[in-house]
Structure 1
Amino acid sequence: MSTHDVAVAGVGMHPWGKWGRNFVEYGVHAARAALADAGVAWPDVDLIVGGETVRNGYGGYVAGATFAQALGWNGAKVATSYAACATGAQALDTARARILAGLSEVALVVGADTTPKGFLAPNAGERWDDPDWLRFRLLGMTNPAYFALYARRRMDLYGATVEDFAQVKVKNARHGLANPHARYRKEVSVADVLSSAVVSDPLHLLDICATSDGAAAVVLTSTEYAKRHGLSTGGRGPVRINAISTVTPTFPQTVIDMPLLSTDATTAVAAPERTFKESIGQAAYDEAGIDPADVSVAEVYDLSTALELDWIEDLQLCGRGDAEALLRAGETTIGGRIPVNPSGGLACFGEAVPAQALAQVCEITWQLRGQATGRQVEGARVGITANQGLFGHGSSVILSV
């Protein structure tokens, strides 16, 4: 056990869907489920960290305090985190840091969202220093168009086909059939995917995740607290978080300023050794002290089917350009060498932004405990999660038992 491990005492979720209710209701449901799973009473929680949801008014901006109030003021410290789609992992890291610093023993982390119909767009107002706002305003680059560029890149570089992308959806839809929290629980075929409407070539409607309402929550404790209270998984001790990576990209120029855009080669610095998404996974491996070969199961951010293939390589679960071969051989399905998205992924859930990184941790926890009924990865001992928060940043979490 590492000195920077913390214990996952409990996890809980509110089912994903389009329920049309306030995000607080979803968050409270997930929080109470996580507390019950942990066997921890709400008054024993000494820190609550909320994942901010920018679409849900002032209560969403101060989500930590919002959830603390909804659960009942108990004197706990409070914090709120935001990092776009990596929000849940950043909130988890905030809780972990305070536990490791000795400032907390029992922390509750909650993320919940109520989303509008259609694709997610930046909030109203002009923000000329926000790259996400600029790509919408100046380029008309909605998220599906952004995903399509990634997909076209895979086709050009590695020979990926639209049938490969469709097969990712087929796999994840099959995985999600047994997940009671999934929004979509229906098998699809490659033909179903390819006959759905083209949204942004080469991606079809069933290649792209929906937006959803939903919530997830995690109870973290110090390993000492877990030991004192007898938390265990099949006699092997509790699930532990070994690493959380929230690194930012490394670029030759970190400030984009017109006078710096020079052709003078003397000012150049070496290119990054890894891409941003590769760095996210590598930072987690380095902190946990493990190699990609140690990973039993992965939950990755499948905003589109093609992006799942990218993530498999970014996490070094196979070589660059080899993800299609792994998929075609059935190695990323349950029963294969490295099952990816046994939960069903965003293909079956959709996006509930502050909750989805936490939902990944919930799934890995259930997998490592052997509690993922109907979708269990047998013998799972180490799991990794990954997602990208666009201009927030990305995240990766490693858990083990």
Structure 2
Amino acid sequence: MSQMHVMGGAMTRFGRHEGVMAPELAQSAILAAVADSGLALGDIQAIYCANVLGGMILGQVILRDLGLDGIPVYNVENACASGATAVHLARHALLAGQYETVLVFGIEQLTQLGGGTIPLQRNDEKTDFYANAGMVLPAVYAMRATRFLHERDAKPADLAAVAVKNRHHGSLNEYAQQRSEVTLEQVLASRMIADPLTLLQCCPSQVDGAAALVLGNRPGPHAKDVRVLGSIVVSGLCEGARDDILDAEITARAARLAYEQSGVDPRDVGVVELHDAFTIAELLYYEALGLAAPGEAVPFLHSGATALGGRVPVNPSGGLLAKGHPLGATGVAQMVELMWQLQGRATGRQAGSPRIGVAQCTGGGIAGVDHAASSVHVLGV
């Protein structure tokens, strides 16, 4: 086996699911994904559960009621890249011939945490000097945004334009948490979180959701067979005193390896789901993924190329800014969206007829390292 097929997929609506426990939320995505694949639960040979904050052996707890206990269950945590990492690990097992059909799902219930930002390194204030200093992700991205405005002679409105685009996309997505459009003026006038990032330039922190994929060594029942052509997960490098915080080195490295593995040129990419936890991130990742030339992210955005109807729509789902970011589910949900886009099933937000899609997800903050992990997947029909 040289390639992995995406046989089926599904996700829940992202948002507040009050009174719904993690098993119920995850099971709805799991059952829908299995049905979409044309298989039965009994055909699944192994399961990968991606989660960040749900506690020990969550996969087994969720699957107990489905009668799938007894088969291998792998619980995967890699910060925001957990779901993408679970897909990557499942691919290893499939390509090795260990299994023929597996299920990967991600689940998170951030509404259970009571609000607030997610710390860079949870429960490690004593050993991580960033966490000890009170550093949080909005501040990290705000520093990148401030430097971006200075280096690129950009304006705060250029950052805000990303939120306007993605909230428009999200308004078309029945699974998105935020389904209302916003204007540039509304984004800029929203409450300041970490200068220059306002509230509407940050992904929602109170969100629940689950997503699931059935992966196998043969096509699913749909007319267009979606395959995973490339799958890369890398860790961050130790930063030096002269490192450029606009470089997004970890993502550029993952993207280069994924393109090499899949034999795909960035110019062939027709749709992208990327990790826009903050508006500045999307602009940086345009360049890291090779979609725009270095220094050209802002003109690329304003050209309309990344909007629906453009050359390479980015985050047609609404991205993390509008769809939401339930950590463990995000990477899986990105690939569910790409599956729908490549098969022409993204009702109301279809990005033309793409043949190649890219999913990019970074995860974690740790003192002295760019990101803890970054993943890039290349999907194709």
| Cα distance between partner residues in 1 of 2:16 and 2:326 | 10
Within 5 A, what are the aligned runs for 1:36-55?
36-54=35-53
Partner secondary structure for residue 350 of structure 1? coil
Amino acid at match of 1:196: S
Amino acid at match of 2:203: C
Contact 1:48 / 1:108 at 8 angstroms: preserved in 2?
Answer: yes
| Cα distance between partner residues in 2 of 1:343 and 1:66 | 30
Amino acid at match of 2:66: L
Q: In structure 1, what is the equivalent of residue 244 of structure 2?
A: none
Give 1:252 shift.
8.1
Per-residue Cα deviation, 1:37-57 (whole angstroms, up to 9, x for no partner): 111110110011101332x23
Deviating more after overlay: 14-23 vs 286-295: 14-23
Contact 2:52 / 2:78 at 8 angstroms: preserved in 1?
Answer: no
Deviating more after overlay: 24-33 vs 351-360: 24-33
Give 1:172 shift.
0.6
| Cα distance between partner residues in 2 of 1:252 and 1:19 | 40
Partner secondary structure for residue 43 of structure 1? helix
Which of the pair has more CA radius of gyration?
Answer: 1
| Cα distance between partner residues in 1 of 2:22 and 2:132 | 28
TM-score of the two chains, using structure 1 as the length reference: 0.87
| Cα distance between partner residues in 1 of 2:166 and 2:92 | 33
Q: In structure 2, what is the equivalent of residue 89 of structure 1?
A: 84
| Cα distance between partner residues in 2 of 1:306 and 1:124 | 24
Partner secondary structure for residue 234 of structure 2? coil
Contact 2:313 / 2:351 at 8 angstroms: preserved in 1?
Answer: yes
Q: In structure 1, what is the equivalent of residue 137 of structure 2?
A: 143
Paired residue for 2:96, among 94, 98, 101?
101
Q: In structure 2, what is the equivalent of residue 321 of structure 1?
A: 295
Contact 1:14 / 1:30 at 8 angstroms: preserved in 2?
Answer: yes
Structure-2 change in CA distance of 1:126 and 1:172 (3 Å): closer
Q: Is the counterpart of residue 278 in structure 1 residue 252 in structure 2? A: yes
Partner secondary structure for residue 142 of structure 2? helix
Partner secondary structure for residue 267 of structure 2? helix
Within 5 A, what are the aligned runs for 1:296-335?
296-335=270-309
Give 1:12 shift.
0.7
Contact 1:309 / 1:323 at 8 angstroms: preserved in 2?
Answer: yes
Give 1:233 shift.
4.1
Per-residue Cα deviation, 1:168-226 (whole angstroms, up to 9, x for no partner): 11111111112111011001000010110111100100000112111111100113xx3
Q: In structure 1, what is the equivalent of residue 315 of structure 2?
A: 341
Partner secondary structure for residue 17 of structure 2? coil
Tell me how many residue pairs correspond in the alignment.
365
Extract unaligned runs of 5+ from structure 1.
Answer: 254-260, 262-272
Q: In structure 1, what is the equivalent of residue 357 of structure 2?
A: 383
Deviating more after overlay: 106-115 vs 21-30: 21-30
Structure-2 change in CA distance of 1:124 and 1:396 (3 Å): closer
Per-residue Cα deviation, 1:293-349 (whole angstroms, up to 9, x for no partner): 110011010011111101111101011111100111111101111110000001112
Contact 2:273 / 2:315 at 8 angstroms: preserved in 1?
Answer: yes
Structure-2 change in CA distance of 1:364 and 1:163 (3 Å): same
Amino acid at match of 1:38: S
Contact 2:248 / 2:288 at 8 angstroms: preserved in 1?
Answer: no
Q: Is the counterpart of residue 399 in structure 1 residue 355 in structure 2? A: no
- Identity fraction in percent: 35
Note the aligned Cα RMSD (angstroms).
1.9
Amino acid at match of 2:10: G
Extract unaligned runs of 5+ from structure 2.
Answer: 242-246, 366-371
Q: In structure 1, what is the equivalent of residue 168 of structure 2?
A: 174
